[in-house]
């Protein structure tokens, strides 16, 4: 085997591991390093918390609620705004340990452009576009649920940066393949598949929603079968253009991660699993290496898209 069989190249970026820590799960990169025993060197990249043009306080509580086999969250993009992130937070990150991806969010295409342009003039390695945001100019419809609207956001951001763009696709749409195709044409360099599924939870005694925002994003093992299918579907489109995918949605261990690679993911996103076990990443790395040895593979790239379909 090669010296580091876990080494991954995603959108031209060399990463020491295929593991990507997902946006919103580790704050702005520095918070999680306070966990004893954790090291950013164990992961290939860290996606920073969703960032908007101006500071946002987020949604009212409750914001997070544990569900059977998962978690429901409605944080509401609480963040200090892009200027604070670029000027005060990024300089404190150790870019020698791992790669850092920004997560750009907005309520208008103009806001996406402005935030992307600000991150372009920074040390950030890549820019993830969260298109699962409501478009205030279109009555609140989410950008990510309309392929044409998704492509407009990607094209607008593409014009503002030379950094790799990763488009985070929503599962809450009719045709994810058409969305992927149009986003590729608009200039995306990669995909993150999938974002959370929309759900809610109810207190039967009070007859009220538990989440203050009524609905939230469902993540964790409960959504894994859906996420695997969406990765496989997007891969069928993306492979023709050499567009890599971060597969995410319920990855809790090495076996989960390998399944996503077989379905077409070049890298794997870990999020909710960190709430169960903050030190899960080295275990996933070790499990992937063991799998590669057992199957006489030299690198994780040899697994990508090798699912045997009937």
pLDDT, residue 118, reads: 98
Q: What is the CA radius of gyration of the chain?
A: 18
Query: pTM for the full model?
Result: 0.96
Residue 144 has pLDDT above 90, yes or no: no
- Give the Cα separation of 132 and 134 in Å (integer): 7
In a domain, 54, yes or no: yes
CATH of the domain at 112: 3.20.20.70
In DSSP terms, which residues pair with 168 in a beta bridge? 130, 192
Question: Domain range holding 264?
Answer: 8-59+76-199+219-302
Average per-residue pLDDT in the chain?
94
Catalytic residue among 25, 133, 157, 183: 133
Number of domains in the chain: 1
pLDDT, residue 134, reads: 63
pLDDT, residue 34, reads: 84
As a whole number, mean pLDDT of residues 35-39 equals 88
In a domain, 103, yes or no: yes
Q: What is the enclosing helix (H) or strand (E) of 294?
A: helix 280-294
In a domain, 211, yes or no: no
In a domain, 135, yes or no: yes
As a whole number, mean pLDDT of residues 197-211 equals 96
In a domain, 230, yes or no: yes
Active site residue 11: no
In a domain, 310, yes or no: no
pLDDT, residue 31, reads: 79
């Amino acid at each position: 085997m090669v010296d580091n069989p876990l080494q991954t190249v995603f959108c031209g970026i060399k990463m020491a591991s295929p593991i990507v820590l997902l946006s919103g799960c580790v704050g702005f990169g520095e918070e999680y390093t306070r966990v004893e025993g954790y090291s950013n060197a164990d992961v290939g990249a860290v996606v920073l918390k969703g960032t908007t043009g101006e500071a946002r306080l987020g949604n009212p509580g409750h914001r997070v609620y544990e569900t059977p086999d998962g978690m429901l969250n409605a944080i509401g993009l609480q963040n200090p705004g892009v200027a604070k992130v670029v000027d005060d937070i990024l300089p404190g990150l150790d870019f020698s340990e791992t790669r850092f991806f920004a997560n750009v969010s907005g309520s208008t295409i103009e806001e996406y452009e402005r935030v992307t342009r600000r991150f372009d003039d920074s040390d950030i390695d890549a820019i993830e576009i969260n298109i699962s945001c409501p478009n205030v100019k279109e009555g609140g419809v989410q950008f990510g649920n309309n392929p044409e609207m998704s492509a407009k956001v990607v094209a607008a951001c593409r014009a503002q940066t030379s950094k790799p763009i990763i488009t985070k696709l929503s599962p809450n749409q009719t045709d994810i393949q058409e969305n992927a195709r149009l986003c590729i044409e608009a200039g995306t360099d990669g995909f993150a598949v999938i974002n959370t599924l929309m759900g809610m939870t109810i207190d039967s005694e009070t007859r009220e929603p538990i989440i203050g925002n009524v609905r939230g994003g469902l993540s964790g093992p409960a959504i894994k079968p859906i996420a695997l299918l969406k990765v496989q579907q997007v891969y069928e489109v993306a492979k023709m253009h050499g567009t890599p995918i971060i597969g995410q949605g319920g990855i809790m261990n090495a076996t989960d991660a390998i399944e996503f690679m077989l379905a077409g993911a070049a890298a794997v996103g870990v999020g909710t699993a960190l709430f169960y076990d903050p030190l899960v990443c080295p275990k996933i790395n070790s499990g992937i290496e063991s799998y590669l040895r057992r199957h006489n593979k030299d690198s994780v790239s040899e697994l990508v898209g090798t699912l045997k379909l009937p």
